[in-house]
Structure 1
Amino acid sequence: MKKILFASTALIATASVAAAEVSFSGYGRFGIGYEEDRSGDVPNISTTAGGGVVTNTATVDTDNTILISRFRLNIDASTETDSGVQFSARVRLQADEDSGNGEAESAGLNGARFSVIYGGLRVDAGNVSGSFDNLPNYFGIEPGLEEFLGQYSGVDYSFLEYESTSAGDNAVFAQYTVGNFAFGASYDQLTVGINGSPTDSDRWDISAAYTFENITAALAYGRTDLPGGGDESLTVLTLGAEFGDFEGTLFLADDDVANSAENGTAYGFSGGYNIGAATTITFAYGDGTADNDTQQYGVGFIYDLGGGATLRGAVGETTVGNGDGTVQADFGAWFNF
């Protein structure tokens, strides 16, 4: 009897493991990066009047050219019920260099994202991407190994994003897809300090997207209701299209934030053109009408080595408001797994 019971228990456990799936995916990248007038935190050693040694940190000019790298591993676990409802969760392990001084940093896990999927409905909870982060063509084509140039550079509103190296915001995102339409919405609470006391503020956004053959149009609106009436909002319209060897995106946004020097219209575009069987030229431009908006522009390339590996690089310039522009460039290898 005991043998039968043990055998039955083992069979049930085996069936449970078989019904669930755990998968790994991600990418690695490494190369060299140049940033004009780069600065970062480095150890600072000083002596005291009594002859003692004190070690702290100081922000100083560092080498403009450093070794850049990233290792990203996604760990996904999922199972599906008899009725077809899928439950899944993801955590991410990521290690980057310190962009200020070029020193290596250790890898760490981020906050978990949980998902329920049934038919065209998907609901995420935990460390999630909001409507803007999920909006088709919001980020467009970002040139460079580090993808340091973006058509969205003129946006100053802080929206809900998936965090790769921290716990993220504990939030909810839902999306429903039917035919060529997709509708999304997210909500989270931000805790801010008002006169030393914690106060919750609401942040939410909604989106809609439609794909017709080779063209996708998307629209999103988000709002943060801050205590004391300092509400902020963002509206974004994107267009993306593919025409043979050319892929392009257009970006238009209006943000209303607490800093009046950052209120206004943001706009930009990006694209990629295949000039051969293995080479793609990429470009991006972003700017805004506000006094302190960030302008970015530059060009890059991607050379396909096959097997999920590419060589990538770009050169561009970033300017904040009326300040001096900063030149940045990178080059290296990217491989997916």
Structure 2
Amino acid sequence: MKKVLFASTALLATASMASAEIKFSGYGRFGIGYLEDRSGAVTNITVTTTTSGVINVGTGTAVVDTDDVILISRFRLNIDGIVETDSGVEFSARVRLQADENAGNGEAGEAQLSGARFTVQYGGLRVDAGNVSGAFDNLANYYGNEPGLENFIGQYSGVNYDFLAFSSTGAGSNAVFFQYAVGDFAFGASYDTATGAINGDKIDLDRWDVSATYTFNNITAAIAYGETDAGVDGLDDPSLLVFTLGADFGDFSGTLFVADDNTEIDLTDGTAWGISAAYNVGSALTLTAAYGDGNADGDTEQYGIGAIYDLGGGASLQGGIGNSDCDICEDSSLRADFGARFNF
């Protein structure tokens, strides 16, 4: 990703600091999105109610069927502050500014600022604190190749476990993530806490995950395991075990995804699996495809294809078409999009 450096002046604060800088990076995307039987909340519409035989007319908010085709958009700006000491230790912090359309009704959304992530790196060691991504969110080939301008089809669609992830528009979890890479191996782990309730009683939730990755030649294998512990006798702890495999063969690349999604809920508890692929047809055109599912009745099955046409300079035309369904869903949902994306 091409990054535009707005401020690269060395700011010498102490003798131990080698340099300091502010960097801006991100991307924008906009286009047309189609979702079969789209519905969402619409505000400032005429609402008619009857109270004691009296008809009242006013404005309000209601969930109604909206246009299947809407204008889709996203603007994402990463703001990074970076300092490196003379001894080679790098300190950095990131916040993200992001604006998306309202996917339910197509209305424009306001930009929101994320919570801060703080990072210390030295050699192969990295430690994140604050609004961080965990071992699953950082796992190699977890997301694979996602077709569509909005990346709306994924090999991971059968997973329902709630793992730690960076929040682009909120404070996120105040957590810690650790990663160490040496040679062809990489190890990661994260930990965070939250507060919940069972039958009105307040409980503390401990969530943790660990991962290991090994790369040999053109193949990368990765595995991660995580649990959410409520510390309540007789209550089973949800967990997730994921294995991914990715390979690159020149113009073709592919990924394999298998997971034991132990949600402790009958509708979503079970095994999830998926595959994805990308093929570079020529110098500018890449085709993508993905499939994901699970054996539980509530698991989402997704499949679709997409295309990316590179315009050069960090800009591209992207689009895709796919379908989402599940065993207990009344109807499947066809989805498609097309538009432009530019990285900066």
Normalised by the shorter chain, which TM-score bucket? over 0.9
Q: State whether structure 2 residue 105 is matched by structure 1 residue 108.
A: no
1:190 CA displacement: 1.7
User: 1:152 aligned to 136, 142, 156, which one?
Assistant: 156
1:132-281 equivalences in 2 (<5 Å): 132-228=136-232, 229-281=235-287
For 1:10, the equivalent position in structure 2 comes to: none
The structure 2 residue matched to 1:336, chosen from 329, 337, 343, is 343
- AA at the equivalent of 1:182: A
Q: Does 1:83 align with 2:104?
A: no
For residues 35 and 236 of structure 2, the distance between their equivalents in structure 1, rounded to whole angstroms, comes to 36
Cα distance between partner residues in 1 of 2:136 and 2:280: 28
5+ residue gaps, structure 2: 1-9
In structure 1, the residue matched to 2:5 is none
Report the equivalent of 2:12: 15
CA–CA distance in structure 1, aligned partners of residues 150 and 219 of structure 2: 27
Q: Structure 2: how far apart are the matches of 1:40 and 1:14?
A: 49
Aligned to 1:5: none
What displacement does 1:84 show?
A: 1.7
Q: Is the 8 A contact 1:226 1:232 kept in 2?
A: no
The residue number in structure 2 matching 1:7 is none
Whole-angstrom distance in 2 between the partners of 1:46 and 1:322: 32
- Structure 2: how far apart are the matches of 1:226 and 1:18? 45
Say whether the 8 Å CA contact 2:154–2:292 is kept in structure 1.
yes
Question: Match of 1:38?
Answer: 38
In 1, Cα distance between equivalents of 2:55 and 2:243: 62
Identity of aligned residues (%): 66
**Distance in structure 2 (CA, Å) of the matches to 1:244 and 1:173:** 33
User: What is the alpha-carbon distance in structure 2 between the residues aligned to residue 35 and residue 47 of structure 1?
Assistant: 29
Per the TM alignment, residue 232 of structure 1 is displaced from its structure 2 partner at its CA by: 0.3
Displacement of 1:264 in angstroms is 0.9
- Which residue does 1:28 correspond to in 2? 28
- Are the equivalent residues in 2 in contact too, given 1:297–1:318 (CA < 8 A)? yes
Runs of 4+ in 1 over 4 A off after TM superposition: 47-53
Between the aligned partners of 1:291 and 1:197, the Cα distance in structure 2 is 30
Identify unmatched segments of 5+ residues in structure 1.
1-12
Residue of structure 2 aligned with 1:131, choices 129, 132, 135: 135
Preserved CA contact (<8 Å) 2:11 2:21: no
| CA distance in structure 2 between the partners assigned to 1:127 and 1:226 by the alignment | 22
Deviation, structure 1 residue 51 = 7.3
CA distance in 2, matches of 1:227, 1:36: 42
CA distance in structure 2 between the aligned counterparts of 1:167 and 1:106, rounded to whole angstroms: 16
SS at match of 1:15: coil
1:94-144 CA-partner distances (Å, limit 9, x unpaired):
000000000000101110000011111100000000000000000000000
- RMSD, aligned CA: 1.6
1:121 to 104, 113, 125: 125
Structure 2: distance between partners of 1:27 and 1:216: 27
Choose between structure 1 and 2: higher helix proportion: 1
Shift of 1:230: 3.2
Kept in 1, the 8 Å contact 2:101–2:107? The answer is yes
Maintained 8 Å contact 1:95/1:107: yes
Q: How far 1:19 moved relative to its partner? A: 2.1
Distance across 2 between alignment mates of 1:126 and 1:295: 33
Counterpart code for 1:15: L
- In structure 2, the partner of 1:98 is 102
Aligned length: 325
